[in-house]
């Protein structure tokens, strides 16, 4: 679980450009999750060997100037609540604005590291103009240019010094996080599981304010259920709800083994659910999709479920090897099957394939389906092994790893899935030089 850094500030100061620069900076970085209706807003980055999650609060605010100020306050408050450190971005071209002052007022009350980043400083004159930002009362500042990257190194050096060292928490019990958009039935799902059965041993307050871990014992299997259902805010603004639930999901997903992604059957697999799904995928977590409120879908025919499943699989391509279960929390239909499936996915995620068996199965398949020649050169794969990581990663050793393209990696992944059952779990393949 990595530290969280939020980038806040009014629109058009260059937050997203800065965000994109950071998440694409190095090879070890996970791609940002892109929503269907808006710019990417969650990604991973690392600097000097320290990894952190980045939240971009940009691009969420719609409407007039007055609505603006209210919205931006909400965004900044949410970011402040979740983040370990905050980058407050302003724009030297425009100078200090009323909105900047509002945001700085909020930030001055916060007991967290705040870094004032003055963007668009790409010459000496602008560097001199930056002095006026002392008026915001946030002390020292960092001048940078998001577009060409100058100055970002100094800011990141200072930032990583204050980030907490988050060690990987190794727990005996598997953790299943119940995630999804507000009102999908997450809390009801957990209540349906534990309400009647009373299998709870303890309630542990989670690391984030509204996440509660419930220890649960069933099917001879003990695990922690993490409920992210406390993510609702009273405001009716959909954009905020979306932003808030993604932020909470970030924490829950990073700290679990399997994600139960709950969606409302009457709403479908929409942009926010997709965001949460890819978040789990990029964090290499096991995934089970639960389609709740199936009892409310009208005019069901024999193949309605099949068609619905097909739609979801199209939305999650190319990672389609994910269990999809249709449940109704109200009637308790298939809720225990959901947990049995999550347990199976957990076991798939921690599965280790013996090297000899792996080679016995995969090398003949590779022999019959060689990688296509590239620039007249033929790739020969000689050996493969599973890497000692908490989730399935495989290294294939060959003479020309740089000539192996993604379609062939997907072919290898599909063959691994067919032969060793990694349903519900992302599989990573590395090509290494023999």
Q: Which residues are annotated as a binding site for GTP?
A: 9-16, 56-60, 119-122, 180-187, 227-231, 292-295
**Separation of alpha carbons 35 and 417, rounded Å:** 28
CA 104 distance to own-chain centroid: 28
Q: Tokens standing for 172?
A: 């005996």
**CA end-to-end span of the chain:** 33
- Binding residues, as ranges, are 9-16, 56-60, 119-122, 180-187, 227-231, 292-295
């Amino acid at each position: 679980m990595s530290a969280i850094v939020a980038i806040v500030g009014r629109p058009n100061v260059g937050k997203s450009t800065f965000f994109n620069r950071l998440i694409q900076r190095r090879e070890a970085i996970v791609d940002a999750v892109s929503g269907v209706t808006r710019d990417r807003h969650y990604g991973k980055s690392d600097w000097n060997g320290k990894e952190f999650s980045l939240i971009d609060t940009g691009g969420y605010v719609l409407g007039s100037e007055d609505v603006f100020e209210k919205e931006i306050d909400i965004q900044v408050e949410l970011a402040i609540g979740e983040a370990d450190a905050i980058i407050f971005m302003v724009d030297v071209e425009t100078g200090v604005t009323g909105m900047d002052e509002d945001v700085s007022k909020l930030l001055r009350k916060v007991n967290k590291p705040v870094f004032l980043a003055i963007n668009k400083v790409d010459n000496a004159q602008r560097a001199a103009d930056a002095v006026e930002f002392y008026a915001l009362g946030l002390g020292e500042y960092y001048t940078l240019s998001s577009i060409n990257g100058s100055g970002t190194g100094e800011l990141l050096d200072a930032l990583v010094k204050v980030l907490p060292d988050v060690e990987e928490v190794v727990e005996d019990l598997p953790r299943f996080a119940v995630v999804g958009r507000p009102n999908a039935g997450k809390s009801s799902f957990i209540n349906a599981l534990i309400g009647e059965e009373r299998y709870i041993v303890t309630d542990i307050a989670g690391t984030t304010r509204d996440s509660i871990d419930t220890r649960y014992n069933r099917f001879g299997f003990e695990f922690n259920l993490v409920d992210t259902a406390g993510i609702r805010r009273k405001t009716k603004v959909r954009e905020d709800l979306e932003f808030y639930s993604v932020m909470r999901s970030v924490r829950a997903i990073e700290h679990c083994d399997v994600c139960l992604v709950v969606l409302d059957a009457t709403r479908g697999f929409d942009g926010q659910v997709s965001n949460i799904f890819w978040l789990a995928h990029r964090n290499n977590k096991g995934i089970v999709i639960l389609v709740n409120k199936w009892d409310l879908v009208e005019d069901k025919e024999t193949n309605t479920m099949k068609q619905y499943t097909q739609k979801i699989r199209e939305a999650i391509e190319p990672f389609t090897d994910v269990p999809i279960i249709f449940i109704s929390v109200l009637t308790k239909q298939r809720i225990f099957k959901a947990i049995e499936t999550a347990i199976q996915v957990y076991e798939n995620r921690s599965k280790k394939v013996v090297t000899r068996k792996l080679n016995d199965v995969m090398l003949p398949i590779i022999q019959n389906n060689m990688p296509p020649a590239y620039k007249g050169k033929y790739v020969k794969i000689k050996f493969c092994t599973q890497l000692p990581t908490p989730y399935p990663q495989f290294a294939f050793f060959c003479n020309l790893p740089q000539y192996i393209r993604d379609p062939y990696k997907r072919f290898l992944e599909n063959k691994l899935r067919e032969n060793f059952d990694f349903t519900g779990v992302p599989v990573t393949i590395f090509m290494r030089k023999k």
